[in-house]
Homo-oligomer: A and B are copies of this chain.
Amino acid sequence: MINGVATELISVRDRGFQYGDGCFETLRLINHHPLLLGKHIERLNRTCQLLQIQFDPETLQTELSNFIHNCTPSGVIKIILTRGIGGRGYSATKNVIANRILQYTEYPDKYSGLADLGVCVGISKMRLSENSALAGHKHLNRLDQVLASFDVRGDLDEVLCMDSSGYVIEGTKSNIVIVREGEVLTPDLNVAGVNGVMLNYIRQQFKDAGIEIKDRNLTLEEVKTASEVFLCNSVFGVWPVKKIVEHESVKMWQIGPVTLKALSCHRELLASVG
């Protein structure tokens, strides 16, 4: 659906296509409820402010309600906002109303059971782009993630991506949280990475339970020697990491108490719309 109209065709002149001039969100749909919609709209809003694109959350929500009404009750919803057509070359018109693209896909079969069993994670050779202005934002420039995903092979469910200094930033489609020496840590996202909605949901739930998730630079060695590691995103929720594979070296974990707490936060979220 584009701007409320049932179509999947867009002009190649749309700046989303020409330059990745826009942003997006991917949400879990449960019983016709898009999970954490308010938080996803907040993030769209922050990125639209950076890009100087206008969008009216109420219009988006109305279109989304109509769209969801015609979808299978559960699955995955993607919202894309772009600057539309206009400007000359890179030069953009500021404060135009965003084009709104809505898409539905089924929840991936291959994700079933991974929250219980844990996932197997590799290390990507692709280093993430560093840019403090774009860091944290879920914009449409996603070649880093596309190229890093080439390294998700064999029995790997995800790969970890580092910046050029060798700090672990995130997975291709997930944030990472580790437990080390009694601290719960997640990478600093000031120069690269996406400020995840699920990460922040868990952060808030943990905070309410008196557990602080601290942001700081994390080396791969620190991740590999953590006592617990889990991944999170808005689609699969929480994945305990049971194995990190790097060349011949394999590090394995049992699911620990902090990860169980994160899994339980996510289950409560699902139950709230069940």
CB within 8 Å of B: which residues of A? 2, 8-21, 24, 50-52, 80, 88-92, 94, 101, 103, 108, 126-134, 139-150, 152, 164, 172-173, 191
A8 engages B11 (CB within 8 Å)? yes
Bound Cα distance from A103 to B19, whole angstroms:
14
Cβ of A52: which chain B residues have Cβ within 8 Å of it?
150
Cβ of A143: which chain B residues have Cβ within 8 Å of it?
19-21, 51, 134, 139-141
Bound Cα distance from A156 to B98, whole angstroms:
27
Which residue of B is nearest A94, CB measured? Answer: B150
The residue in A88, A128, A149, A152 that gathers the most chain B C-beta atoms within 10 A of its C-beta is: A149
Which 8 pairs, one residue from A and one from B, show the smallest C-beta to C-beta distance? A141-B141, A20-B20, A19-B142, A129-B131, A9-B9, A90-B145, A129-B129, A90-B149
Bound Cα distance from A13 to B101, whole angstroms:
10
14 more A-B residue pairs beyond the given contacts A92-B150, A134-B143, with a C-beta to C-beta distance below 8 A = A10-B10, A10-B12, A13-B103, A17-B17, A19-B141, A19-B143, A51-B143, A88-B108, A91-B149, A129-B131, A130-B164, A131-B164, A133-B147, A139-B143
B133 engages A130 (CB within 8 Å)? no
23 residue pairs of the A-B complex, CB under 8 angstroms, read A9-B9, A9-B10, A9-B11, A10-B17, A12-B103, A16-B17, A18-B24, A18-B142, A19-B140, A19-B142, A20-B142, A50-B147, A89-B149, A90-B149, A91-B149, A92-B149, A126-B133, A129-B134, A130-B131, A132-B164, A140-B143, A141-B141, A141-B143
Cβ of A131: which chain B residues have Cβ within 8 Å of it?
127-130, 144, 164
A252 to chain B, nearest CB (A): 25
Q: Do A145 and B19 contact each other (CB < 8 Å), given the known contacts A127-B133, A132-B127, A173-B89?
A: yes
A147 to chain B, nearest CB (A): 7
A146 engages B21 (CB within 8 Å)? yes
B139 engages A90 (CB within 8 Å)? no
A142 engages B145 (CB within 8 Å)? no
Bound Cα distance from A147 to B134, whole angstroms:
10
A92 engages B130 (CB within 8 Å)? no
A148 to chain B, nearest CB (A): 8
Which residue of B is nearest A137, CB measured? Answer: B143
Q: Do A146 and B17 contact each other (CB < 8 Å), given the known contacts A12-B8, A126-B133, A128-B131?
A: no
Bound Cα distance from A94 to B74, whole angstroms:
30
A101 to chain B, nearest CB (A): 5
Bound Cα distance from A149 to B150, whole angstroms:
32
**Which of these, B103, B127, B132, B141, contacts A20 with CB under 8 Å?**
B141
Bound Cα distance from A133 to B150, whole angstroms:
14
